[in-house]
Amino acid sequence: MLSHDIVIVGGGLAGLRAAVGLCEKYDVAILSKVHPIRSHSIAAQGGINASLANHPEGKDDSWEKHTFDTIKGSDYLADQHAVEIMCRQAPIIVYEMEHWGCPFSRFEDGSIAQRPFGGAGYPRTCYSADITGHVLLNTLYERAVSKGVKVYSEWYAIALVIDNGQCHGIIAFDLINGKIFPIKSKVTVFATGGYGRVYQYSTNALINTGSGIGIAYKAGVPIKDMEFVQFHPTGLIGTNILITEACRGEGGYLINNKNERFMEKYAPKAMELAPRDIVSRSIQTEIEEGRGFDHPLGKYIKLDLRHLGAQKIMEKLPGIRKICIDFIGIDPIYELIPIMPCQHYSMGGIDTNEKTETEIKGFYAAGECACVSVHGANRLGGNSLLDTIVFGKLSAIAIDEYLSGNNVNPEERPLNAKLNDVETNIKKIANNTGERPFSILSDLSKNMSANVGIFRKKDELALALEKIMEIKERYKNVHVSSTSLHMNYELLNAIELGYMIEVAHTIAIGAYLREESRGAHFRRDFSIRNDENWLKHTIARLGADGTPEISFKEVVITRYQPMERKY
């Protein structure tokens, strides 16, 4: 049995920032599915929001205005006290990252460059060309290494150990050496990212299975607002690789098959820089009404960057140009980019407060796997990187307070009991004679994209739930071809698939029950927002019968009363 003061599951921005804040005082370890600089945080392209007021058109910006834009963008489902904390922290975080060596792009006066992003009243998105996540992640990883943080790469958390309301650690799968270990810890932090691979079309990496959310849920931790799934307007046709919002922030146009900038119909003021939920629905509407383009890989519309000119594209969007050349054989300096909306981000997740605490002692969550809630029903572009680093930092502060004020003694007994459960389950999978995991996952992801997508309605959601229950039955007999633990990705996929099915179930049931349209959750049969009945968070717990038990929690309103959302 391994033991550390603090175990952080996830090597992305939230996990690294928490580790950097704790490692000088405590024995801290990070478990990461991949090497930390391959974490999905690296895929974030466009920027990180902060009210620095460096842009000539943003001199009047402030943390209060950032807060209002975020709450309005959330369709008033965000907890406003948490948004205020995040937006106050934003300039502090950006300057901290700058002082730690992050190479932000600069204006001519040497100040950190900022660009416009969707749903923002001012250009407040700080960036490094179109590789902002890359430079932030490398900066934090270098700092973690310099401070001696222990990193277990290619180790997977496969169970959370909770007993009598206290977290005692995790069960981990060391894939390289083919061993399963209990890891005892005074504090466990989940920073495990989103669940994009529950959907067929997603900008997310293959590692984004949502297993962290599923592990917490199966251990009895409540999860919140799972029905709110963000679809990014611009995923590259065929590959679903993210084409950053920075393309539109720098002045790119969306064009239909009539050569129209159609966003004028849907958001006449903001145009292409309306919030992502609005732009995604607008694109999907154009496609459904016959104004899209046809491709063997699907229907799409086009993103036009040509008018920006070669110099601007190569200076500010070099990564996007390379992606287009490498993956679809077009150069956006001369040609239009074929794009379609894809699942992108998880607004919902593990229910935490503004300190990243859950209701379980010693268990914390931060980043995309957590729901504070600062994004509510729809996240603004540029706020995800901010969320990860701010709440990674606040997690470290809260954990220090907890450990300094409590005598915490994790026990080996519940860890050993959970290890026995895990080993029994693995033997069952190995002895099953049913389907392979890839077949079940394929049907699950197709079901979610078809029936719990950008537009939703009762009969489709009911069908989604029916299919998920069928998939749960099929999963009971999931089978793998080898019983070896060493580098057995099929076994790992089978274990994670069980958690993915649970995540999908909570998304679908939350969407079925929420009879309104709010942010990224759009019901064709309930097409308006209903604050009287639905200005509340959805809480899902694992019921005794293995299905989600749903309850609701009030949204925290401070200074910003809900109003109609126009752009």
Structure tokens at 383: 């706020």
In the numeric block, the tokens 């993956």 are attached to 327
Q: For residue 66, which phi and psi values (nearest 5 degrees)?
A: -60, -40
Number of other CB atoms surrounding residue 400 within 10 Å: 16
Does 529 participate in catalysis according to the annotation?
no
| Burial tier of 87 (Cβ tally within 10 Å: 0-12, 13-18, 19+) | buried
* Secondary structure class of 315 (helix, strand, coil): helix
**Residue 409: CB partners within 8 Å, gap ≥ 6?**
186
**Residue 242 β-bridge partners:** 235
DSSP string, 383-442: HHHHHHHHHHHHHHHHHHHHHHHS-----HHHHHHHHHHHHHHHHHHHH--S--HHHHHH
The answer to whether 449 and 204 have CB atoms below 8 angstroms apart is: no
- The CA distance from 390 to 393, in Å, is 5
The answer to whether 205 and 454 have CB atoms below 8 angstroms apart is: no
Parallel/antiparallel/unpaired status of strands 166-174 and 155-163: antiparallel
Q: Which regions of 139-286 does DSSP assign to beta strands (E)?
A: 150-153, 155-163, 166-174, 179-190, 223-224, 229-236, 253-255
Of the residues 124, 197, 276, 321, only one is catalytic, namely: 276
- The CA distance from 101 to 103, in Å, is 6
Note if the bond before 41 is cis, omega within 30 degrees: no
| Burial tier of 337 (Cβ tally within 10 Å: 0-12, 13-18, 19+) | buried
In the numeric block, the tokens 């009991």 are attached to 417
Which helix (H) or strand (E) segment is 165 a member of? Answer: none
- The CA distance from 158 to 418, in Å, is 10
Catalytic residues: 276
